[in-house]
Structure 1
Amino acid sequence: CSVYHKTNRETMVEIGDSVRGKDIYIIQTGTKDVNNNIMEMLIMAYACKTSSAKNIVGVIPYLPYSKQCKMRKRGCIVSKLLAKMMCNSGLTHIITMDLHQKEIQGFFDCPVDNLRASPFLLQYIQECIP
């Protein structure tokens, strides 16, 4: 898969090989340039969906906007909006780590695995740091 940006900064995605009937994993960091990363992931997922991929799994260690999970004054619940966008783009499963609130999983119309980093970090500290 190739991702590039046109001169007007629009994101373009080209899938080189056939994904028809295959399980696809899209890994996105969700950090730094958050909005561009989200659009890249959504466009990749939609390209795979329209190319008849069997399953499209988003692996997103840090889920952007997860701290915006409650209604504030006249705002909106941005994490719920993002969940709908991700599922509508074609993602069939989400894998993330340490969600700000576990209830965010309920915003998604697809399965969400919320992994915890602490067991891995604890093991690393015990084994590697004197």
Structure 2
Amino acid sequence: MEPNYSTYTLDELIDVESHIDKVIYPERYKQVCEQITLKQNDPKVAGEIKLNGKVAKVNRLLYLVAFFWFFAFFTLLTGEFRLKGYSAYYEDNTIGFFCGVVLYFSLGLLIYIKYMNQSRKIISQ
């Protein structure tokens, strides 16, 4: 029984193309290549590929959010804020320490807001 490659997604077709034995199944390989060409030229599929790329780029912002919030919590736990040679300890410089914590949380929050706005734009497209 021949597989119906027209029902496969582009990712599945590319996977089949890379794993199919071209010597044993030359006709199937030809069908897979034709379906890949059709799917790549389909505007709907091309739009999905672009959308997936945009989503991946936007999701990278979450790493920055995690980075800044990690440092905010780490600063609170250790009682020491450090940034490019500047150090503020909770015991010695309370205002500088809490300004540093607020800085980390604020940067994380700003990036998170940007992430949410870009996610909404992508969803509404």
TM-score by length of 1: 0.23
TM-score by length of 2: 0.24
Kindly indicate which of the two structures has a greater share of residues assigned to helix: 2
Kindly indicate which of the two structures has a greater share of residues assigned to strand: 1
Which of structures 1 and 2 has the larger relative contact order (alpha carbons within 8 angstroms, sep 6+)? Answer: 2
Structure of higher CA gyration radius:
2
